[in-house]
Amino acid sequence: MKWIRMSNSGDFDVVNAIQMIGASVKTTDNPIGLYGSGIKYAMAQAIRSRTTIKIADKGKVYTLTTKLRTFRGEDFFVVCLKTSTGKVYETGITSEFGKEDWNDPWFIFREFYSNMLDEGGSMDIVDGIKTIENGVSVFLPYGVFESQLEKLDKYFTGGDWRIRPGTGNVYKSGVWIGELDGCSFDFQSSDIQMTESRTMKRTSARSRIELHFQNCKNPEEWKLLLDSPEFYREINLTMSWYSSSDEITIALESALRDYVGDNYAVCPHGNTAIFNDAIQVYNRKPIVFPTMWSLPKSIVTIDNIAKEFSERGPTREEQVVISAAKSAIRDFFTTEFTIKVCDCNNGAGGYADIQNKVVMIGSSLIAKDIDEKTIKRTATVLLHEVNHIQTKADDYTRQFGRGYEEYLVKLMT
């Protein structure tokens, strides 16, 4: 029979070790395990799943087994180690230990492999139980844990990195503790809170990622987050206190320009009308962020673009264009409104103040040369903005579309 053998050459008393919880004397500076409880959970799980485990200490082989105990009229199976001569050493736990959470074969493999790493040991595949002269060896059945063995690169990684391109794998102390959907990056933190089964608490993992990006000065890392829209809609970033000259703001702006282009606008998630306005009205490439994100004020959002308008009355030349455009669609108007010109640098064609019945035409739209093309372009924008006032509706709604339909019927009849 093939076995996975995990060995270390340290001085280790197996019998005493299995009888203690809360004591850890690992030989490395930053051990993965801390309290000696993980192996006990793994042993109880192995009993429940009928997985054979053998441990050899200085040539003496122990087999994981149980012993029946009765407590207050209830029968329990105490986890034990039995020697080849039949002597049994009891632990202080039963096979029920961790049964609510510990149910994945990976948990068993993880605990023994992590312990081997902490003790500076090694792993190999052997036929039969082959012991070493000094130190301890744990033998796991190859057939049961073959898939874990094949994915060691996923499950175990170095502990000297924080974030990297990946698929949402999350690590603590170099050990895989879970996965987040929709991520184009892997993440590692020693501060993520854990469940009883040594897997991550998702809310804790998300909060650590939030904290990382709220202090992130690396544009490449920001681009990893921008590549993960399904994930970042679940997190909350509070960055309103950063100035435009702050390294974090500069890194985010750089990532946005690389990702979307210089002519971008951040739009809130869940509002299709605003998204379409960014494209059609403001000539911006939109990127959608959650509405609860509090971004640095210098980041270009659709909201601060809309606030860039500076209203004024039209010049004589501009009034000629506006009057011609207004005359071309005079049959459309069913309400009184005021036309103003707005000076802005965002390329917007126009804007409607529905409440005050004011239409603003972008000065960049009205060329100095009065020609048919300019008048048609101005008339198109005017038609659109006046429709907002007359229908009192947002873009891309059925009510807004009905305003155009009524005008077309009026023209045909």
186 and 44 belong to one structural domain? no
Rounded CA-CA distance 91/403 in Å is 80
Rounded CA-CA distance 222/60 in Å is 54
Show the DSSP H helices in 58-177 as ranges.
Answer: 105-118, 142-150, 152-155
17 and 111 belong to one structural domain? yes
Rounded CA-CA distance 43/79 in Å is 7
Let me know if 122 is exposed, middle or buried by CB neighbors in 10 A (0-12, 13-18, 19+). middle
pLDDT, position 34? 42
208 and 224 belong to one structural domain? no
Whose CA is closest to 317, among 371, 369, 380, 379? 369
CATH code of the domain in which 377 resides: 3.30.2010.10
**How many C-beta neighbours within 10 Å does residue 56 have?**
20
9 and 147 belong to one structural domain? yes
Q: Which of 307, 336, 367 is the last residue of a domain?
A: 307
pLDDT, position 43? 93
pLDDT, position 344? 63
Q: Which of 307, 322, 356 is the last residue of a domain?
A: 307
Backbone φ and ψ of 75, nearest 5°: -90, 135
Is the pTM here over 0.75, yes or no? Answer: no
pLDDT, position 33? 44
Q: Which of 252, 272, 307 is the last residue of a domain?
A: 307
Rounded CA-CA distance 392/253 in Å is 35
* Beta carbons within 8 Å of 270's beta carbon, 6+ residues apart: 291
DSSP for 324-369?
HHHHHTGGG--S--EEEEEE-SS---EEEETTTTEEEEETTTS-SS
**How many C-beta neighbours within 10 Å does residue 389 have?**
23
Type of residue at 233 = R
6 and 134 belong to one structural domain? yes
Type of residue at 347 = G
235: DSSP letter: -
37 and 122 belong to one structural domain? yes
pLDDT, position 306? 67
144 and 46 belong to one structural domain? yes
260 and 230 belong to one structural domain? yes
pLDDT, position 18? 66
User: Which range marks the domain in which residue 182 is found?
Assistant: 157-213
190 and 118 belong to one structural domain? no
177 and 296 belong to one structural domain? no
pLDDT, position 412? 84
Max CA distance (Å), the chain: 108
- Measured CA distances, 13 to 63, 83, 267, 374 (Å): 15, 14, 62, 90
pLDDT, position 307? 65
73 and 145 belong to one structural domain? yes
78 and 192 belong to one structural domain? no
Domain count, the chain: 4
What is the pLDDT tens value at each position of the chain, 413 positions in all? 999 999 988 666 677 666 655 445 454 544 444 446 888 999 999 999 999 999 998 888 999 999 888 888 788 889 999 998 999 988 888 999 999 999 999 999 999 999 898 888 999 999 999 988 888 899 999 999 999 999 999 999 988 999 999 999 999 999 999 999 999 999 999 999 999 899 999 999 999 999 999 999 999 999 999 999 999 988 999 998 999 999 999 999 999 999 999 989 998 877 776 787 788 767 789 999 888 899 998 898 887 776 666 778 888 888 999 999 999 999 899 899 999 988 765 555 777 888 889 988 888 778 667 788 888 888 988 999 899 999 998 777 889 989 888 888 888 87
